[in-house]
Structures are given as structure tokens and as C-alpha cells.
Amino acid sequence: MAGTTVSRTAHFALHRTALDAPRAPTTGPGSVGPKALFAVHDAWIGALLPKRWAKRAVTRNAIKRQIYTVSEQTQPPLPAAAHVVRLRAGFDRSQFISASSPALKQAVRAELQELFARAAP
């Protein structure tokens, strides 16, 4: 979350931070200085779905699956960085009555596609 917000939609925000931290010796107790965030230089994706905005675990899991699926299918692919998709508002429970309805999944997928399209380089 220390990175920058690169894209927002009504329900989601996409945060990105670089993987290029200066490298330092990584072994032993005397290692000093910053270390690389991830060992593999590739696009990393994470999901942050607070219970405040998605109360039911079924809903949170369905949204997470959509996040990972849409991020893999994004064209052009995400740049090599650490990305976090954060749910910043809840979906209206009166409109999406079921915890994991096809209508909810379709709405989430459409919004995530918009989120990743806005973040394209």
C-alpha cells in the first residue's frame, strides 16, 4: 500500500510499487540496507478485501477469484511490479441478493477489466 494508486473505479483501487529496491547481501545477521521486494522480477498481484465492504466469505472469495483471473487475462500485461487490488466500497446487497450470483460476478469482472485498462502503460 506504500506504492502509488494507479487506477480507480467505483469499487476498486489498484496500487503499484516497484520491485527495483537496491539489493544487499541477504544472508547472515550482518546484512544491512534494503532488500529486493520479491526475488522474481515479474508482475505480482494481491487482493485486499475488507470485511467492512464484503461481509460474507463467499463474496470475498468470488471477488478474489475474479481479480486473479482478470489480471492474468489483461492485455497488455501488467508491468513488472507488485500490484494490490483493494476493494474500497461495497456492492449493494439489495441489487445483488445472493452472496455469489452470476450478476455479481459479471459486475465485478466488468469493473475489474475497466480498472486494469485504466492502469495500462
Summarised one tens digit per residue, pLDDT across range 8-21 is 999 999 999 988 65
Distance, CA of 43 to chain centre:
11
Q: Report all structural domains of the chain as residue ranges with CATH numbers, in order of start.
A: 4-118 (3.30.230.10)
CA distance 107 to 60: 14
Using one digit for the tens of pLDDT, what is the confidence trace for 33-66? Answer: 666 656 677 889 999 999 999 999 999 999 999 9
Sheet-wide strand order for 82-87: 4-8, 12-17, 82-87, 44-48
